[in-house]
A and B are shown apart, each in its own frame.
Chain A
């Protein structure tokens, strides 16, 4: 008989080893032609990890101990299946699945379709895999990738979200199959009732055996999605918890069947422009994760904001010493740091798995930070130091061009620079630019520069297709996100501007330099900051707004060379002439180039300038994560009422789009009125141009 089920008696979720044991016991009871073969699987030992404890006692004629010959066991299993039986094989350590490989590749999988008629081969080879136990190089490997893509062979992996009985049942009925069981899961309890701790929830999606979809309990939309096999699940959950403390929401997708992979049910969950990563304990190269990335690139190319980030363990044997093993195998901290870097949270240092023999101090990795909300890739322009140069903290290393600016990346650390990317390369956010200190490991120099496509000479061709230039691609990302994520409302107001235009003409004459209506509007918006500070800021998450202490006003500039939104800093404390100087500087850069990334970020509100002749008004969008955008059209002459008397006058239309999650209509109207007052009321106009 099987061991007493103390876990169930206490109302706890079963541990993975218990779930597997119960599943096998139930399947042996349900299926009289099912055999279980393996080394030391019989009682009293009950298998190296006790998965088969009690089963040989209950089913002594079908739970059979075997000699130490994995190839022999697999061959017997194939023969039993061909004779009409079902078989579960236990390989004591997945590392020895190499000895099973010939039978699986050339007998079990081939037999299904090489005899003309389809031959059922209900064989499941169970393989405990992975490290984390201190078992050393030959008892800790993740061998899943070696079995990928064999016709008729399905690959499954245990997860803490999937009960083992339907999983094993599916594997047997869709066999031949390999079932990989990450050893660190054996002692961990399954998640159940849709709960993954305090902050995360899960559900199963797709047809059996399906995917586990882990989301934030508060319903927050994901900042990134991580796909991983079951063995990584606890580490991925830990990474999600750590990222949550950094205001980053990570969703997880964990399939029970690795191959063939049914991505259809999860494509809608990945359809938004959210970064996607794949994490696996295997070493890189020809992996399941690479296969997943390739599939997602094929299916989601138009919406992925960046190539799928692939995370693996170090290119290394797995050391036996636990402290070295932790450095070598992909862990929660590696996932956390890689995702933070990919999302632009910080440039360095980034923890990454380190190979055995690599320097104990692996050096600091200099990665590409997120320099704006527009771009997911940047162009490496020029290295400012030589490969091998000694640098100090803050030494400028490299110039990187965004769609709208050139930014210097500085050394975060003193040491010897090893350049990893050549000038002219296009690099994604989070990509490694260089290492400082430590050893380079592979000794590789910078990669060769990829060919740089020639810029479009003079606008799009008539007919045919063309690719948006970098600046427009950046704008597309921002406006798409704004349109998709911000439930914006809109209000407008007409303002008579004769007086303020008169004042501005006098200021221009007095100072000898032009000051126009845009400067006055920016100043009036900034002046309203004191009373409407809650409209100046950004949305941190669905419930949190970070208010801006200063009236940093972004302005839209489209002078025919791309749309830019540089920020005039602290406008409320500065004179109109100062603001006019800033705007002229920005206009010159909008045509001639030369914006720095810092000039283009962290605006608290945006003013959309649309003062070209004939433009009456423009309905702005809200530049996520800001809360509001105010538009100003061109001044126009029309008949207005002065009291009850029709007189000629000059008016402009101000529009305000606002994030209705944060700002309500009455506040928006009051804010717009305050801005209008700043342009109309004599005392405020006088103050404006003082």
Chain B
């Protein structure tokens, strides 16, 4: 299990095995609009990184979050 998956699983209160890069608002009912903001804030804190509001709105899955972090030079 990688760190980002564990973080998202923790926010969504899902077992880590139930979360992968495809997990997102479109695939997981627990990924509500409120949980989405909580995930973004948790990522910012965990990786000490700032996501712009536009980035936050676009990161609707674990994979999308990983891409944004990678663009910022963070291995997640």
User: Which residues in A have some Cβ–Cβ distance to B below 8 Å?
Assistant: 512-516, 559-560, 580-585, 587-588, 590-592, 611-613
Contact = CB atoms under 8 A, between A and B. Distances in A.
B59 to A, nearest CB: 9
A588 B41 contact: yes
B71 to A, nearest CB: 14
B37 A582 contact: no
Contact of B44 (A516, A582, A592, A612): A592
Interface string B7-42: 000000000000000000100000011101110110
> Which of A559, A582, A583 neighbours the largest number of chain B CB atoms within 10 Å of its CB?
A559
B56 interface: yes
A588 B56 contact: yes
Interface residues of B, number: 19
Given A559-B34, A582-B53, A588 B58 contact: no
Contact of A513 (B37, B38, B57): B57
Interface string B39-76: 01100110000011110111010000000000000000
Contacts of A590: 37
Interface of B: prevailing SS: helix
A514 B57 contact: yes
Contact of A512 (B25, B41, B58): B58
B62 to A, nearest CB: 16
Given A513-B58, A580-B57, 20 more contacts: A512-B58, A514-B33, A514-B36, A559-B37, A581-B53, A581-B54, A584-B37, A584-B56, A584-B57, A587-B37, A588-B40, A588-B41, A588-B51, A588-B56, A590-B37, A591-B38, A591-B41, A592-B41, A592-B44, A612-B34
Given A591-B41, A592-B44, A585 B60 contact: no
Nearest to A582: B53
A514 B56 CA distance: 9
Nearest to A518: B33
A587 B35 CA distance: 11
A515 to B, nearest CB: 8
Interface of B: 25, 32-34, 36-38, 40-41, 44-45, 51-54, 56-58, 60
Nearest to B58: A513
Nearest to B64: A512
A513 B54 contact: yes
A91 to B, nearest CB: 71
6 contacts: A514-B57, A514-B58, A580-B57, A581-B52, A587-B37, A588-B51
Nearest to A589: B41
B38 A585 contact: no
Contact of A592 (B32, B45, B53, B54): B45
Contact of A591 (B37, B53, B57, B60): B37
Contacts of A515: 57
A584 B50 CA distance: 13
Given A516-B33, A591-B38, A591-B41, A584 B60 contact: no
5 closest A-B pairs by CB: A513-B57, A584-B53, A581-B53, A513-B58, A592-B41
A515 B34 CA distance: 14
A581 B37 CA distance: 13
Contacts of A512: 58
Contacts of A580: 53, 57
Nearest to A591: B41
A611 B32 CA distance: 11
Contacts of B44: 588, 592
A583 B41 CA distance: 14
Nearest to B56: A584
Contacts of B60: 514
Contacts of B54: 513, 581, 584
